[in-house]
Chain A
Amino acid sequence: MQIPTIDESKTALNYHGAAEAASHHEAHPDHRIFGIIVFLVAEGMIFLGLFAAYLTFRAVAPVWPPEGTPERELLLPGINTAILIASSFVIHKGDTAVKNNNVASLRTWFLITAIMGAIFLAGQVYEYSHLEFGLKTNLYASTFYVLTGFHGMHVCFGILLILGVLWRSLKQGHYSSKNHFGVEAAEVYWHFVDIVWIVLFLLLYIL
């Protein structure tokens, strides 16, 4: 007897016969990278919200930046941007290395990425201390500090993630070509921070 509502090709038993994907009786399935990406969608929406606020302030203001805002130096932020973009390629080299089971090389590339991130932050701090406007000078200054500061916080967190990966990589066999969630997560996060900065840089400095 056939039960009409069952599509034979879709029953659980058939599936298992065909695919042997019996994850149900195995360890908890690993969807962490997908989870990180979904989480970064939310994270990205915070930045999008802040960008939208910035653009609205700007659209409504008669002059932007408001009159009396000192000129900004473009050289240092330009170099900083180049360093951050370059670091995205460096961290990817680390990811490639671990996929080839080369943990020593992973360590090198991740260390370089962390240093580049630290240089970026140092440049940011240097810029803050030499700017001629403060948090409360005017609306442009406030948005500038809050946006770059909020992004800087993310860079900080990214560096911590990378250092965490470095620390764990010291343990023999922690990362391998099969098992490298931490490496991938740090990389995805770092790319995210990088892309946000590109938009931020265009909004605050160029446009």
Chain B
Amino acid sequence: MTQLQVTDSANLGNTAETNTGGDWRKYFGFSTDHKVIGIQYLVTTFVFYLIGGALAAAVRTELATPDSDFVSRELYNSFFTIHATIMIFLWIVPAGTGGFGNYLIPLMIGAKDMAFPKLNAVAFWMIPPGGILLLSSFFVGAAGSGWTSYPPLSLINGQAGEFIWILSVLLLGTSSILGAVNFLVTLLKMRLPGMGLHQMPLFCWAMLSVSALVLVSTPVLAGALILLSFDLVAGTAFFNPTGGGDPVVYQHMFWFYSHPAVYIMILPMFGMISDILPVHARKPIFGYRAIAYSSLAISFLGLIVWAHHMFTSGTPAWLRMFFMIATMVIAIPTGIKVFSWLATIWGGKLDLNSAMLFGMGFVSMFVIGGLSGIMLASVPVDIHVHDTYFVVAHLHYVLFGGSVFGLYAGLYHWFPKMTGRMVNETWGRIHFALTLIGFNLCFLPMHKLGLEGMPRRVAEYDPKFAGLNLMATVGAYILAVSTIPFVINAVWSWMYGPKASANPWKALTLEWMTSSPPPVENFHEEPILWTGPYDYGIDFEEEGEEKSVEELLAEVKVDVG
């Protein structure tokens, strides 16, 4: 008997009845069930993703021609500002940490729920007001000084919209901190007895690193925004040079959060990919500890490299040297992960379903973003391409090619667990193909545009850039279209898709050891940790005679005494 069959049946126990999805109305209320909250996060943030995507489409429409002819320049500024704010604070951060973190952590560590279920629900219910607040600022003239909100520009650029932007980000940041408290306590204190830190799935390691990062960095952004709002509303001059203040202090505080934030946005996906690739390649993960510890290393290094965003802010040369070297050092733990993933799928029996395609797309697209990141870390290159489209290309390769591909991989992989239904693979693959083509068509040309000197955040540009910009716009439209098959596929499959078994991928982590979708409090009976999370392809046939589950259980119980 193979080990897998043992685990499957042993943990499901005799309770054959599966959980029916239950009342759909629970998704609209104050539920304390981490699975409901996780799905609430995912659906809510996906809606914001579509809104942010619509704004991006508007931005690309404006940029299809060199002239400013689609929207007014002020509105254009608001569009790209709110686009970035939504994508960061209302999609990638809450979907990766809040969505998958909430749904998966208790299941993966064999707990019934998070450590603080009510706090968890409170943290989620800060997201919709935060998002609606942000969008409502369009009625008074939304913030238009970029998602960085650098003073003094942000102080003179429409007070009401800027103030609403600050309030909204503070609200979303608070939600993120409360979530991180919950994750950290749950991961450290509520693991299944017998599950040490080194038996945790790698997603849990990633979330441990992310939570620490959120706890340490997000409050500093709150501090910066509090000071900024005093400047904005009370007329102080913390960051206003005309009153003796120093705008560079804001930049330091802002990037002390916002650089770690890029790891907050990518580490959960690193974790998910580490869990998805071994399942669909049917191979043990390569370098479990290397991947686990590199998450911690990234989260530590991520805290001490923020000023590489400020090479052109009058940062002294010796400091630039430090931040350049520290930034390049991050390539080491990241490279460890990439090579471990490649070694994991090397020679595996790849099942090229949608989850795996997005997983492999993630690795390849992220590597491109990572390489341009090393270029940007180098001071001379950065000074040349600072605030050009090269930066836009880089950040979209890591945040879209990385994070969003990772989120899609996670959505396809855990969809059967979350909904109890299988997605349509054909449409999933079409979705992947459209996304990959649209994404590269949109963002690859931006590298060249940036190197040739096209500045970012402009509504009109030199006509010599027109060709590549048109190409990017076409790519953006393909990207917009690519979400349609996904949305239809997801909604249709959720309602009418074929029923999923408890463990359709034959995976070994604990979330697959319960019914799909799992019942309230997750496990029909207390789960038993039979295997490590990645012990794929280990054949026990030569171990001797086969035994039934009952015999094995009896044996274990005798040992226990």
Contacts and interface: CB of A to CB of B under 8 A. Distances in A.
Q: Do A and B bind each other?
A: yes
Interface string A42-61: 11111111101100110011
B243 interface: yes
B552 A1 contact: yes
Interface in B242-293: 243-246, 249, 252-253, 256
B322 to A, nearest CB: 17
Interface residues of B, number: 71
Interface stretch (A26-34, A87-95, A114-122, A178-186): A26-34
A150 B226 contact: yes
Interface stretch (B53-61, B230-238, B372-380): B230-238
B528 A13 contact: yes
B54 to A, nearest CB: 33
Interface string B186-223: 00111011111001000000000000000111111011
A142 B237 contact: yes
B25 interface: no
Contact of B3 (A3, A15, A52, A142): A3
Given A12-B194, A12-B529, A15-B193, A46 B535 contact: no
B559 A45 contact: no
Contacts of B227: 50, 53, 146
Contacts of B543: 1-2
B185 A34 contact: yes
B245 A56 contact: no
B115 A31 contact: yes
B532 A5 contact: yes
Interface in B23-61: none
A21 B192 CA distance: 11
Contacts of A60: 246, 249
Q: Is the interface of B mostly helix, strand, loop or mixed?
A: helix
Given A10-B529, A43-B219, A146 B230 contact: yes
Contacts of B249: 53, 56-57, 60
A136 B234 contact: yes
Given A14-B194, A35-B181, A52 B112 contact: no
A45 B215 contact: yes
Contact of A14 (B216, B526, B560): B560
Nearest to B178: A39
Given A8-B559, A56-B252, A3 B222 contact: no
- Residue of A39, A49, A66, A146 ringed by the most chain B CB atoms within 10 A: A49
Contacts of B185: 31, 34-35, 38
Contacts of A48: 219-220
Contact of A136 (B196, B215, B235): B235
B223 A1 contact: no
Interface of B: 3, 6, 110, 112-113, 115-117, 119, 177-178, 180-182, 184-185, 188-190, 192-196, 199, 215-220, 222-224, 226-227, 230, 234-238, 243-246, 249, 252-253, 256, 526-532, 535, 538, 540, 543-545, 547, 552, 555-557, 559-561
- List 7 A-B pairs, minimum CB-CB distance, nearest first: A49-B223, A49-B220, A45-B219, A17-B560, A15-B193, A46-B219, A142-B236
Interface of A: 1-6, 8, 10-17, 19, 21, 24-25, 28-29, 31-32, 34-35, 38-39, 41-50, 52-53, 56-57, 60-61, 66, 135-136, 138-139, 142-143, 146, 150
Given A15-B194, A48-B219, A56-B249, 17 more contacts: A1-B552, A5-B530, A10-B194, A12-B527, A29-B190, A34-B189, A35-B119, A45-B217, A45-B218, A46-B219, A50-B223, A50-B227, A56-B252, A136-B236, A139-B238, A139-B243, A142-B230
25 contacts: A1-B543, A1-B547, A4-B540, A5-B535, A5-B538, A10-B194, A11-B528, A11-B556, A12-B110, A12-B192, A12-B529, A29-B189, A31-B115, A31-B116, A38-B185, A42-B219, A49-B223, A49-B224, A53-B223, A61-B244, A136-B235, A136-B236, A138-B244, A139-B243, A142-B230
